[in-house]
């Protein structure tokens, strides 16, 4: 019999999520990415990293797919009117995120 109590549902939602890092793990990983790219946007545009972006987003959001990104590239990634440019940037940052994780040593 399935338990639909609030307690059971709360326990279910508090299970660890694959790809979800603790705050300290995420900070260490972001520091690694920053050092890896010398503080520059990982797409090669030459601008400084302003934030970190998930290569895998939405329901599949995964901290292991983080990339260092400039605000200009972040804006283009989400709001460019050129859908081909958005698709290319999405694909590029997803690949960079996978490469970052491959280089990271826990």
- What is the reported pTM? 0.79
The CB density around residue 43, as the number of other CB atoms within 10 Å, is 20
**What pLDDT, on the 0 to 100 scale, is given for residue 6?**
66
Average pLDDT per block of 10 residues along the chain, 106 residues long: 66 65 93 97 95 83 92 92 92 94 88
Those residues whose C-beta lies under 8 Å from the C-beta of residue 47, and which sit 6 or more positions away, are 40, 41, 70, 71, 72, 73
Q: Rounded to an integer, what distance in angstroms lies between the CA atom of residue 2 and that of residue 104? A: 41
* Sequence spans of domains, the chain: 21-103
Q: Between the CA of residue 2 and those of 5, 8, 16, 74, what are the distances in Å? A: 9, 9, 21, 43
The neighbouring-strand residues paired with 51 are: 69
């Amino acid at each position: 019999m399935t338990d639909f109590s609030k307690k059971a549902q709360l326990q279910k939602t508090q299970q660890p999520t694959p790809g979800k890092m603790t705050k300290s793990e995420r900070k260490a990983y972001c520091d690694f990415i920053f050092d890896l790219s010398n503080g520059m946007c990982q797409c090669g545009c030459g601008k400084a990293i302003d934030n970190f972006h998930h290569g895998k987003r939405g329901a599949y959001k995964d901290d292991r797919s983080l990339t260092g990104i400039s605000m200009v590239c972040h804006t283009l990634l989400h709001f460019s009117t050129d859908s081909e440019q958005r698709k290319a940037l999405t694909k590029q940052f997803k690949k960079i995120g996978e490469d970052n994780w491959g280089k990271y040593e826990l």
